[in-house]
Amino acid sequence: QTPTSAKTDPYVLLAPHLEQMRTSLLTLLGSSHPSLNAIAQYYFLHPSKQLRPLLVLLFARATNGLGAEFSQVNWAADNARAHQQELDAPLTRKDILCDWNPSMPDHTASFQSAFELRIPPAQPPPYTPQPPPLHQTHSQTLTHTLLPTQLRLAQIVEMIHVASLLHDDVLDKSPLRRGAPSAPAAFGNKLAVLGGDFLLGRASAALSRLGSHEVVELIASVIANLVEGEILQMKGSGTEAAPHPSSSATSAIDLKDIHASPSPLPSDKWAIYLKKTYLKTASLMAKGARAAVVLGGCREGEVWKEVAYAYGRNLGIAFQLIDDTLDFSSSTAQLGKPGFADLRLGLATGPALYAAEEFPELEAMIERRFGKDGDVERALTLISSSNGVERTRELARVHAEKAREVLTLLPRSEARDALEALTEGVVKRRW
């Protein structure tokens, strides 16, 4: 039984924002060289789930107004500051458009449209904060508001995600992504790596302009986590898990319970697998959602940041577990990328780890990373006659259920309903 009955489609709720964000992102990624433009924009031109921006924007809408510092007055001040930063043309033109070179074309017009989200007036009027009328409640007013900084954060997390895909497709030698030739297949490895680096550069500049050290630290640590996850996947264990940001929160809600893992770990291999899953996938969702709440004015000691983190962490783990099952059960056409990729890369994901409990001969194959002739084919046969895929789906459902439980700590709103629908969608998806 789900805690809310009326479901709100997250894509419908945020459709105008998502479209505007995508268009403005393409402009934001313009560079001084056509090859760099082409590679940096490439993955944004193909359809994607936009799960990470959705998560950021829905948490922003679900929690704006709840934090002690999110009075209408502070909200107005934050907005005014953000406008000012973005309108700081001399700084941003120099940073983004490299117009130190007088022979370069003037990109001012396209630069302006990169910030269309704000629709700033030519001369921002002096800010006069308007407190909300007393009779208006939180749900009537502030939850429908998205701060410019939160919209920008949604773009930043998508840029970081796409940067990691550009690098991932080089590392995995993947020929396909989003139903088209992968970036390394289309442009070569060197440009794909440089394109990812360029996205990280643009994302970092935009991140610093959000004006929050806490958010910069959170998102910077995600970039490190992505690399840590990739290394853990490549080399196996060796280090302790990166801790999530601690909280000195005091609240009626038991934070230990919010953060408790819903899944017991049957072995070291499972511990490493789930840690890697957090680092490479869930960290961006958890910390991205948390950062959205920080930008909304929640401070240390308030529970909303913990809710966002715990939700994103569990949703992210559920998402990756489902991804790992789809590698076995969906077609290349459905996925838009090659199936059975993990075994071929030597990786034992949930289905293989569960299948090894039924067929112990898999253990040696996992140990040698399916490296002997015939290993991949034999492992595929064993895994498909085991309950590995179904058990991994079940584990994903456990994490999704935990995410949904955490959501009940938020006051009811359209955005909370949409988050609930999103949770369900992540587990049911086929691509």
Among left, alpha and beta (phi > 0; psi -120 to 50; other), residue 123 is: beta
Interacting residue with ligand FPP among 158, 172, 306, 375 (CB under 6 A)? 172
Mark the segment that binds ligand FPP (CB under 6 A) among 21-29, 123-131, 134-142, 156-164.
Answer: 156-164
Q: Does 172 bind Mg ion (CB under 5 A)?
A: yes
CA atoms within 13 A on the CB side of 53: 27
Residues whose CB is less than 8 angstroms from the CB of residue 264 and which lie 6 or more positions away in sequence, other chains included: none
Interacting residue with ligand FPP among 148, 196, 288, 351 (CB under 6 A)? 196
Of 102, 6, 11, the C-alpha closest to 422 is 11
Q: Does 158 bind ligand FPP (CB under 6 A)?
A: no
Nearer to ligand FPP, 163 or 310 (CB): 163
Q: Does 313 bind ligand FPP (CB under 6 A)?
A: no
State the minimum distance, in angstroms, from the CB of residue 278 to Mg ion: 15
Interacting residue with Mg ion among 78, 168, 327, 417 (CB under 5 A)? 168
Mark the segment that binds ligand FPP (CB under 6 A) among 3-11, 169-177, 234-242, 413-421.
Answer: 169-177
DSSP state letter for 337? S
State the minimum distance, in angstroms, from the CB of residue 427 to ligand FPP: 18
Name which of Mg ion, ligand FPP, none residue 290 binds, using a CB cut-off of 5 to 8 Å depending on partner kind: none
Output the CA–CA distances (angstroms, integers) from residue 4 to 8, 113, 118, 225, 303, in the order listed: 10, 39, 33, 33, 21
Quick note: the x/- pattern for ligand FPP over 264-293, rule CB under 6 A, is: ----------------xx------------
Query: Rounded CA gap, 328 and 392, in Å?
Result: 11
Q: Within 10 Å of residue 245's Cβ, how many Cβ atoms?
A: 15
- Can you list the positions of beta strands (E) in 76-187? 176-177, 180-181
Q: Which helix (H) or strand (E) holds 25?
A: helix 10-28
Query: Rounded CA gap, 317 and 250, in Å?
Result: 27
Nearer to Mg ion, 172 or 302 (CB): 172
Which chain residues interact with ligand FPP by CB under 6 A?
A: 160, 163-164, 167-168, 171-172, 174, 196, 200, 223, 226-227, 230, 280-281, 337, 341
